[in-house]
Amino acid sequence: MILPLQLVWTRIKTRFASEKGSELVETGAVILLFMILVMGVFQFGRAYNIYQNITNAAREGARFAVAPQRGGGVAYPTTNEVRTVVVNYLNSANLADPGATRLQILPNQSLGGVATCNPAVSGSPCGTGVSLSYPFSIFGFGSIDINTSVVMRNEL
């Protein structure tokens, strides 16, 4: 004779031993994980794209900082003129300058640590550093700071 508790246990085991609907649950879990992975790939791809753009902007700023202005003179650009070149490049890459809280540009810096930045002196290293805070939108993890710096020398 089967005891009532054993009968209930047998019914529970046979009821949950069925695999009806398990494929649907597994598919839902796999699709969720796949979508998170795809969104992560897009977010990191965009962060790398931003890194490339701010590196190019810093390169343009450093190149502009060590080059004499047109017109036959040896006048070199000011810090504000170098900043304008960097901001214009970032605007053309759809990374508008929203202010100092999100974007920092350090033009005419001696980032190489070798000598001070003096574009009028041949071989003087002058650099431009650009730092940008990039917000991640996956699970609201916040933002990461993307930094780059470029140093060029004035070769007269």
Q: Which residue has the higher pLDDT, 26 or 69?
A: 26
Rounded to the nearest integer, the mean pLDDT of the chain is 77
Q: Mind listing the pLDDT tens digit for each residue in 72-121?
A: 566 777 778 888 888 888 888 888 665 544 555 666 665 555 556 776 67
In this predicted structure, the answer to whether residue 20 has a pLDDT above a threshold of 50 is yes
Q: Which residue has the higher pLDDT, 135 or 105?
A: 135
What was the pLDDT predicted at 56?
Answer: 92
Label residue 29 by pLDDT band (50, 70, 90).
very high
Give me the mean pLDDT over the 38-67 stretch. Answer: 88
In this predicted structure, the answer to whether residue 151 has a pLDDT above a threshold of 70 is yes
Label residue 52 by pLDDT band (50, 70, 90).
very high
In this predicted structure, the answer to whether residue 7 has a pLDDT above a threshold of 80 is no
- Spatial strand order of the sheet with 125-136 comes to 103-109, 125-136, 142-153
Q: What is the DSSP string of 8-40?
A: HHHHHHHHHT--TTHHHHHHHHHHHHHHHHHHH
Give me the mean pLDDT over the 46-69 stretch. Answer: 86
Q: Which amino acid is at 151?
A: V
SS3 33: helix
In this predicted structure, the answer to whether residue 33 has a pLDDT above a threshold of 90 is yes
**Domain regions of the chain by residue span:** 23-153
Q: Which residue has the higher pLDDT, 39 or 69?
A: 39
